[in-house]
Chains A and B, each alone.
Chain A
Amino acid sequence: MRDMRLQAFVPLGLLALGALAALGVSLGVGSASIPLDRLWAIALGEGDGLARTMVLELRLPRALSAFAVGGLLAVAGALMQVLLRNPLADPYVLGISGGAAMGALGAMMLGLGGMLASTSAFGGALFSTLLVFGLAHGRGGWAPTRLLLTGIVVASGWGAMITLMLAMTPAERLPGMLYWLMGDLSYAREPGLPLALLALTCIGLLPLGRSLNVLARGPRQAAALGVDARLLEWGIYAIASLLTAVAVATAGSIGFVGLVVPHMLRLVLGNDQRIALPACALAGGTLLLLADTLARTVIAPEQLPVGVITALLGVPTFLFLLYRSGP
């Protein structure tokens, strides 16, 4: 199947090149822009102290974090959409980010920051996942609509509690919390874990891609074609939740990537999960990387929350693609 291999590798190769280009841009621009030849020198271990510090200690970890978080969110979104067989599903609709926000903001309200807030966000996300899953599953049945509805209701519950928390927080702590809610990569300095998780997930899901294609036709059809649908559904739900939790703990709640990226790719590349999932990882990562680069350069040296940029970039692109693909 030479032509099918090609079909898979051409778009993935292009996306990977795009990701590399985005990484180059992101490392080069900022408060002081660094041209390509100097970037190259820095990569080879040369270059002066300040530029080295900027590129290697500030921009690189942030860029890798942005890429990893974007990839995680897009893959999580794609998985949720297959699970619910609903292109409107994304990790945020299911209340996962609401739980994470509760965790993070609660820690911030108590004056805790950094790792503690991230850990708390992670805990909140997993708690919310279990809550939604437990309530939606109820007695045996696991209809997508029921899960979606439970998620939406739980998410709005979190929303109310977040508002309450914001209202009770001392004013000086509010900017930090609001930036968290809009998604902010300024403090994402440890890209190792999210990157490793993203790579592991992509590799781990590769052999399951065809099963996911079958699952997209509904659990009954999937079972008839030899897929243990129940086990696969549980697995996807657990993985998608974990990816979301790590992404949110790293960069706050960044909306839109999980919804828009899988959808755009589906319009362009079709719905074969063996291509779609790695493509989501690459495209989601590139999108967030570019968005974050814009967020820190548009009104440099001042900063914007990256979530604002993802929405501003994503909405028109999405609407355009949707309009063009329409019947």
Chain B
Amino acid sequence: MSVLAARDLVIDVPGRQSGQVLNLAVEPGQVWGVLGPNGAGKTTLLHTLAGLHPPRAGSVILDETPLARLRRRRIAQRLGVVFQERVDGFPATVEETAMLGRHPYLSYWQRESAEDMRRVQAALERLDVAHLRQRPVGTLSGGERQRVAIATLLTQDPAVWLVDEPTNHLDLHHQSAVMALMREQAAAGRALMLCLHDLNLAARWCSHVLLLYPSGEACWGAAQNMLVPDALERLYRQRLRVVEVDGAPVFVPVNG
């Protein structure tokens, strides 16, 4: 049974005449990777699935209910997003930022409880930013801010994770740690969809892959079926070579 499904969905990418109708279902335990060149509409797809961008046609179904019929608060209790861009116009500490993840669960008059604080603490530790707790987010490095954003989503703890470029700004160690966290969440019954620009991360960590072409075409399926050199070369208009490391394919761009 799917938690998140696209039904006859056509995403609305400005300037694109038509797009392929998407009919797909994301189930608990799955990690979907969305791959495509720049401008193919990966972020638009993610925002559409989150109900933050109206589709051109069709609908998004969350737990059997069309997203459009749900209130934002109800959606946020089930589905969370990490954006690529963040607005930090005002100073706020790392702890306050992570605490925002509890917002969907608190009523108007309710204050954050000790339990909420414990979740924040755990999330910060999990993302290796607990030592930055009192620092204003504006003073952090790009990678630290990325981890704080993921910690916020972990605090929110939704059933569906939509993450735009989870490894943005991260060093190699933290890339692996974050991707491991994603898979761990899937194993715990969450459904994840990640926009990725690194093929190899998709190859290593994703169970399913959606290829999004600049023309609006798309195809999707199990990772091992989708990650074949022909399709990927057409996707990126780039020759690739495949080598195998520890049983997983690694794609390397080659000239010519």
Contacts and interface: CB of A to CB of B under 8 A. Distances in A.
Determine direct contact between A and B, CB below 8 Å. yes
Contacts, number: 86
Contacts of B52: 220, 223-224
Interface residues of A, number: 32
B229 interface: no
A220 B114 contact: no
Interface in B63-113: 71-77, 80-81, 83, 86-93, 96, 100-101, 103-104, 106, 108-109, 111-113
A77 B22 CA distance: 46
A224 B80 contact: yes
A227 to B, nearest CB: 6
A224 B156 CA distance: 11
Which of B52, B73, B100, B156 is packed against the most chain A CB atoms within 10 Å? B100
Interface in A206-233: 206-208, 210-211, 213-214, 216-218, 220-221, 223-229
Nearest to B152: A225
How many interface residues does chain B have, given as a range? Answer: 35 or more
A221 B90 contact: no
Given A220-B52, A226-B76, A227-B103, A4 B90 contact: no
A7 to B, nearest CB: 11
Interface stretch (A116-124, A187-195, A265-273, A315-323): A265-273
Contacts of A82: 90
Interface in A247-277: 266, 270-272
Given A82-B90, A85-B87, A225-B103, 6 more contacts: A1-B117, A208-B108, A224-B50, A224-B83, A225-B101, A228-B73
Interface of B: 47, 50-52, 71-77, 80-81, 83, 86-93, 96, 100-101, 103-104, 106, 108-109, 111-114, 117, 139, 156
Interface of A: 1, 4-5, 81-82, 85-87, 206-208, 210-211, 213-214, 216-218, 220-221, 223-229, 266, 270-272, 327
